[in-house]
Structure 1
Amino acid sequence: MKLILKEYLASLRERGDLDKSVLPNLLAEIGLNVLNTPMIGTRQNGVDIAAVGKVKGEDIERFLYLFCIKAGNVTRSDWEGNPQSVRPELNEIRDVYLNANVAKEHADLPVKICLCCGGEIEETVLMNWAGYTKQHTTDKIHYERWNGDRLADLMMRSLLARELLDEGPRGDFQKAVAMVNEPGACYEYTSAFLRGLLLDAQELPEKAQLLRLRQAYICINAITAWALEAKNLESIYKVSELGMLLCWHVVRKSLPEDKKPTKFHRSLHALMDQFVKLHLTCSELYLAKTAFAHAHKRHALSVAVRSREAVDVNLAMFELLGRVAIRGIWTATLALNQAESDSEFAQAMAESTQRSLDVIVELINNNPTLHSPFKDDHMIEIALVMYLAQLTDSVPRFVPWLTSVGEKTTFALLLNSNYPTAHRDYVDLLNHPASNDDEYRSEACSGSILYPYLFVWLANTGTEEEKFGFCERLKEMLPNCTYQAWLPDEDTEELIWQGETYHGVCVTDLSPQNGLNEVAKMLNLAIDNCPDINSISAVRFGLVPMFLAACRHYRLPIPPHFWFTSS
């Protein structure tokens, strides 16, 4: 375990990884109160992180800890040569920070100035370090080296110690790291590790909850770092999204809605923020190499699936479509939430949202398979795209696509060619359609969430001819299909974040043959009588993307509350 952690620490970048992700969590867990973390664009006066307190099991008295952080190994060229080198920053701490930046309540504390790196201080620098620290050590100012070995020891002792990280989660974590080259195995072991660590964390005392979340975050960071090094982008996306959802499962009950937040609440909020940022970072890395880079090229992404089977291409392309859409929903929501408090950030999020919209249009135009979903639950991806379109007033860009999907999926029934099926097993999908018999078609399409969704949109945006043809083809080919929708119930909030799918309310009798008025009446009645969407924690806290991400991740239908929200 220590070797794994040392390799992980050595691979971290200074900005954004070691100083903002790993070290603050570690310092909090070993007994220090973190006073500040680095901000880009502001003068640090040599100090990347300041903390105060006693390191558990080491310090007898309280110290003011000042960390100068460097990524990887500290080499001869890192020691001196430019203002960001080690020696100039150590001088700045002594000459500027200690004289101008220390708060009154900490002014009388002894000081420890720590040179911190994820790797090692190389032998060519050790003599310089020894001479410098001997010259400047006083009764009040002390110097320490915090290299990768010390950080790994502290993590083993305080975050990932044997008695804190049980044998089951520890073994699954090590297996996940070992299998970073295999997306499926890496995800399964990570899922087992996270569930063993987090599913019962809600019942623990506050400190234990924070410890479990920090353990999970550090380990997910390690897994994604190695998966990225192994160029396994699939794993970094799925693992980071799963971590975010399970983290929310822990923090959702403890976040205050009306009462004043405590230190514990602020720590929970900060950890949740880190999980979301990690997933959005992994999402950006994944999409930068896939959709963002190649969506504009005709068939490029479809060919990249490298399969002769049409079903493989279809599944992969709809998966990609859903990931671009959910990222756009995240950035659009963040832009709206931060419009007043941080206009610069909101503008950046709005630009990212526009990029996602443009890429979705390119994906659809350059990969015709996206007009012909093979699975009925591809309604999820289609609904996410249209929800994003409504958030951004971009519906007209996607109406032709919806019309095309409605036409092709129903004509596929007439042709007995890859029409959407309720089957989810890969072998069943590979052999679909296995027969032209009415009996087989009735079984393969025993229920549908896709066709009611398409009908609602066609009835509102399509022509009478398009709507009539759509309904007539369904009437002829699927007379016994149960057209339905899913809504959350009172159990959904407790179960959805951990991946349970046996909850919610199924509304039937949404047949397009009944007409829009009757379908709309049934949907509105269901929405009025099933108000449990309002008890979903993510919805209450303004994090609708979290709920939609859970639906997509665990393959639950998008509820009708998010179908057609335009007036």
Structure 2
Amino acid sequence: MKLLLRQHLESMKERDGLDVLLPQLLSELGYEVIHRPRIGGRQAGVDVAAVGPDPDTENKKSLLLFVIKSGNVGRADWDGSLQAVRPSLGEVIDDYIPNRIPEQFRGLPITVCVCMGGEIEEGIRAAWRGFVNNNTRDGLSFREWNGDRIANLILSGVLTHQLLPPTQRANFQKAIALVSEPDESYQNFRALLDDLSDGLQPDQAGTTRLRQMMICLWILVTSGFDAENLDAPYRACELAMLHVWDAVRQCPERKRKRYAERWEIFQNVVSLYLSVGQAFLVDKIGPHAGKRFALSAAVQSRSPMDVNLSLFDLLGRLVLLGHWHHAIACRAEGGEAQVHLAKRDELLDLAIQTINNNPTLVAPMRDDHQIEIAMLTSLAQSCGRLENVSGYLEEVANRIAYGYRRRSHWVTCFREYQHLARHPIDRSDAYFRRSTIGSVLVPFVLVALDRLGKSGAQAQFERDIQDTLAHSTFQTWVPHEKTADSFWKAGQSICLGIALGLQSGDGSNASMSSEIANICSMHGRILEWEAVQRGLYPLVLTACRHHRLPVPPQFWVDPAS
């Protein structure tokens, strides 16, 4: 375990890495963190400041000032630029200590700690000792917090035997070791999260588990970067967001300090998700989205089904990340908002390129591909570019109707891989009815075409499904009053809401769009959820995609932002 932590710490970056991990670790160990890293503005050399027992002075209460650097500290890191260690230490002595220490902490002994994931290299250790000897005085000392020390603190304070029982340690170690086998790694990490969050209470012990969860997630992500395989880390980030948000919403806001701690952990997990998504989807996969059949070939399977399922999964990831950037932009201001809007637009462009260059995406195989298509439509609406996906929706409708008419590889409600691999077994009426007994995709396509103003395509699609799917039940899914208690962490086998049958698809005069509008007004509880109220509607889409639950009609075209 220590070797894994040591390797993880050495490879962590300074920004959005050690500077996020260290405050969480200090808080867990009982320190009061009074200064955290921030982007923009001068920090006078100090990345993190905390008040607590100094382990090098018999645990005497002290003010610890941390200067953080990534990896090993070599000659260039010591005095090679204005951001190097020695100039930063000079700023701490000349600016932070005399001018920036809060009044209530001015009487405490001060310990300046150079914190790094690696260690101080031998080539500059003499220079480090000389600096320490020249600047140490009564009430001011200097310490080296290297990766080995931080790993020991993590093991003693966060990942002890009492907090990580053998079953959890086994799941964690398997998730790390099998990171190049994404399915196995994800399943083990999911088991770890389920154990950690099982019965999690809104108390300090629950917050400790969340920090523990976050540190484990960081180690998995770093292992994924080292192995150049980010599939499992991406899926783990999605699931961790849902687990942490469930813990945030269960903590009463009146417990302000604890709620703030959990909210900070949630923000850190979202930040990690955005970083992994950028590296995985935009930087690694994005350059190939514009190449004809490149992503289809990358699936490395001769089975059209494998290609179809993999490409729809990728499409869902792209548009979900776009929704997160849109939601963050709506909460941000100025330049930060523009950065996220640009990334949102880039992800929609990548999704459209992926569709244009991989024709399998116009022919969904599973009825629950409604999730990906609905998220794409709502993201296009957020970008003001519905016209860019209208042709895609028309073609999807044509392919669905063609498959039903010809009974050739039609969209089925089956989800299990073994059933899909054999689909269609035959073209008999009995099998056709069984494989199309219900649909959430068909009503979505009907409503989307109507809202896009494609009345001709909608009328033709409606005639086709009335001729071929008279036996089918058209449905939509909405949460009920208890959905939020199990929605965020639940698996596929748990009933989480209400499936409502729709009458408009049976040839009646009622409009599907008006019926959906009535359902939205009658079952609008989801819009009262804290996540939606706070502008975090992508959490709902994340849960739907991750747990394969249909996107509720409130999010079909207009996201609840």
TM range (shorter): over 0.9
Alpha-carbon offset, residue 220 of structure 1: 0.1
Q: Which amino acid aligns with 1:269?
A: W
Is 1:544 equivalent to 2:537 in the alignment? yes
Q: Match for residue 270 of structure 1?
A: 264
Contact 2:70 2:118 in 1 (8 A): yes
**3-state SS of the aligned residue for 2:65?**
strand
**3-state SS of the aligned residue for 1:252?**
helix
Is 1:497 equivalent to 2:449 in the alignment? no
Is 1:324 equivalent to 2:318 in the alignment? yes
Alpha-carbon offset, residue 96 of structure 1: 2.6
Q: Match for residue 232 of structure 2?
A: 235
Q: Which amino acid aligns with 1:379?
A: Q
Alpha-carbon offset, residue 312 of structure 1: 0.9
Structure 1 residue aligned with 2:355, among 361, 364, 386? 364
Alpha-carbon offset, residue 184 of structure 1: 0.4
Deviation readout 1:460-518 (Å, 9 max, x if unpaired): 43555433332232223222111111111122101111124412101113452435734
CA distance in 1, matches of 2:57, 2:521: 60
Deviation readout 1:328-360 (Å, 9 max, x if unpaired): 11111221222xxx2111111111111122222
CA distance in 1, matches of 2:303, 2:320: 27
Q: Which amino acid aligns with 1:80?
A: D
Alpha-carbon offset, residue 57 of structure 1: 10
Structure-1-length-normalised TM-score: 0.93
Q: Match for residue 12 of structure 2?
A: 12
Q: Match for residue 381 of structure 1?
A: 372
Is 1:226 equivalent to 2:229 in the alignment? no
Structure 1: tracts of 5 or more residues without a match: none
Q: Match for residue 417 of structure 1?
A: 408
CA distance in 1, matches of 2:330, 2:516: 28
Structure-2-length-normalised TM-score: 0.94
Q: Match for residue 327 of structure 2?
A: 333
Contact 1:459 1:516 in 2 (8 A): no
Q: Match for residue 278 of structure 2?
A: 284
Contact 1:244 1:272 in 2 (8 A): yes
Contact 1:169 1:196 in 2 (8 A): yes
When residues 58 and 138 of structure 1 are mapped into structure 2, their CA distance, relative to the original with a 3 A threshold, is closer
Contact 1:291 1:320 in 2 (8 A): no
When residues 510 and 294 of structure 1 are mapped into structure 2, their CA distance, relative to the original with a 3 A threshold, is farther
Deviation readout 1:441-464 (Å, 9 max, x if unpaired): 111111111111111122343555
Deviation readout 1:300-324 (Å, 9 max, x if unpaired): 1111111111111111111111111
CA distance in 2, matches of 1:527, 1:81: 61
Q: Match for residue 135 of structure 2?
A: 136
Contact 2:412 2:435 in 1 (8 A): yes
* 123-132 or 64-73, larger mean C-alpha shift: 123-132
Contact 2:476 2:502 in 1 (8 A): no
Question: C-alpha root-mean-square deviation of aligned residues, in Å?
Answer: 2.0
Alpha-carbon offset, residue 552 of structure 1: 0.7
Q: Match for residue 530 of structure 1?
A: 523
Contact 2:247 2:262 in 1 (8 A): no
Deviation readout 1:250-297 (Å, 9 max, x if unpaired): 1112253xx6x7222221211111111111111111112454212212
* 31-40 or 440-449, larger mean C-alpha shift: 31-40
CA distance in 2, matches of 1:316, 1:438: 30
* 41-50 or 241-250, larger mean C-alpha shift: 41-50
Alpha-carbon offset, residue 176 of structure 1: 0.8
Alpha-carbon offset, residue 116 of structure 1: 1.1
Is 1:396 equivalent to 2:392 in the alignment? no
CA distance in 1, matches of 2:217, 2:454: 49
**3-state SS of the aligned residue for 2:262?**
helix
Contact 1:199 1:250 in 2 (8 A): no
Contact 1:456 1:516 in 2 (8 A): no
When residues 47 and 465 of structure 1 are mapped into structure 2, their CA distance, relative to the original with a 3 A threshold, is closer
CA distance in 2, matches of 1:327, 1:255: 29
**3-state SS of the aligned residue for 2:95?**
helix
**3-state SS of the aligned residue for 1:387?**
helix
Q: Match for residue 308 of structure 2?
A: 314
CA distance in 1, matches of 2:192, 2:268: 19
Alpha-carbon offset, residue 161 of structure 1: 1.3
Q: Which amino acid aligns with 1:228?
A: F
Q: Which amino acid aligns with 1:315?
A: L
When residues 121 and 430 of structure 1 are mapped into structure 2, their CA distance, relative to the original with a 3 A threshold, is same
When residues 243 and 92 of structure 1 are mapped into structure 2, their CA distance, relative to the original with a 3 A threshold, is same
Identity, % of aligned positions: 36
Q: Match for residue 254 of structure 1?
A: 251
**3-state SS of the aligned residue for 2:365?**
coil
Q: Match for residue 32 of structure 2?
A: 33
1:193-232 matched pairs, under 5 angstroms:
193-201=192-200, 203=201, 205=203, 207-232=204-229
Q: Match for residue 72 of structure 2?
A: 73
Contact 2:119 2:146 in 1 (8 A): yes
CA distance in 1, matches of 2:369, 2:176: 31
Q: Which amino acid aligns with 1:16?
A: D
CA distance in 2, matches of 1:510, 1:452: 10
When residues 70 and 337 of structure 1 are mapped into structure 2, their CA distance, relative to the original with a 3 A threshold, is closer
Q: Match for residue 509 of structure 1?
A: 502
Is 1:461 equivalent to 2:452 in the alignment? yes
Contact 1:37 1:50 in 2 (8 A): yes
Alpha-carbon offset, residue 325 of structure 1: 1.0
Contact 2:202 2:250 in 1 (8 A): no
Contact 1:493 1:537 in 2 (8 A): no
Deviation readout 1:512-550 (Å, 9 max, x if unpaired): 243573434543443344343144331232211101110
Is 1:487 equivalent to 2:478 in the alignment? yes
CA distance in 2, matches of 1:402, 1:410: 12
Structure 2: tracts of 5 or more residues without a match: none
Contact 2:403 2:409 in 1 (8 A): yes
Contact 2:328 2:337 in 1 (8 A): yes
Q: Match for residue 299 of structure 1?
A: 293
Is 1:191 equivalent to 2:185 in the alignment? no
When residues 24 and 373 of structure 1 are mapped into structure 2, their CA distance, relative to the original with a 3 A threshold, is same
* 131-140 or 167-176, larger mean C-alpha shift: 131-140
Alpha-carbon offset, residue 204 of structure 1: 5.1
Alpha-carbon offset, residue 7 of structure 1: 1.0
Q: Match for residue 554 of structure 2?
A: 561
**3-state SS of the aligned residue for 2:67?**
strand
Structure 1 residue aligned with 2:435, among 414, 424, 444? 444
**3-state SS of the aligned residue for 1:282?**
helix
CA distance in 2, matches of 1:534, 1:78: 50
**3-state SS of the aligned residue for 1:54?**
strand
Q: Which amino acid aligns with 2:427?
A: N
Q: How many residues align?
A: 557
